[in-house]
Amino acid sequence: MKKAVFPGSFDPITLGHVDVINRAISLFDELVIAIGINNSKKYKFSLEKRVAFIKETFKHVPNLTVETYTGLTTEFCKGIHADFILRGLRNPADFEFEKAIAITNRKLTGIDTVFLLTSADTSFISSSIVRDILKHHGDVSKFAPKAVVEGV
């Protein structure tokens, strides 16, 4: 059984995340969306809201679960017996940053990272862009799933 963890803050989940998740669902027997909790970071949305956005967006996907964690992603992965870490890449800068983390994670635990490129339609979307649009009361319907648009 192949189990992958897609970690992130998902503040909020975007259509870029949705694109990666939709394509990853068929690659793994189980996909865990893992929302990392960093107490030194200020989030726009509460943890409960972020979990709800993801659960609502993927409510009809039986092999997808949403969990929260603190600490190292690799320790969380070991704790739930995950085989892979999933990461989405939007651009070459993402790859360089994520490559270093992936190598470190593999050295720490032996867990490999699987990279999926976001589609061209969503490669420019980031949670920070969505938060900025929301801050100025803009329409995020082209950048975030329905659960976020309706839950704001």
Q: Are 62 and 94 in contact (CB under 8 A)?
A: no
- Kindly name the residue from 26, 41, 81, 107 that is annotated as catalytic: 41
Q: Could you tell me the CA-to-CA distances from 8 to 92, 93, 137 in Å, in that order?
A: 19, 17, 24
Amino acid at 42: K
On the CB side of 87, how many CA atoms lie within 13 Å of its CA?
21
Catalytic residue (one of 3, 44, 90, 106): 90
Is 17 marked active-site?
yes
Q: Which residue has the tokens 């409960």?
A: 48
41: annotated active-site residue: yes
State residue 38 phi and psi, 5-degree precision: -120, 105
Q: Is 53 helix (H, G, I), strand (E, B) or coil?
A: helix
CA dihedral (111, 93, 136, 146) positive or negative: negative
Give the residue numbers annotated as catalytic, written as ranges.
17, 41, 90, 127
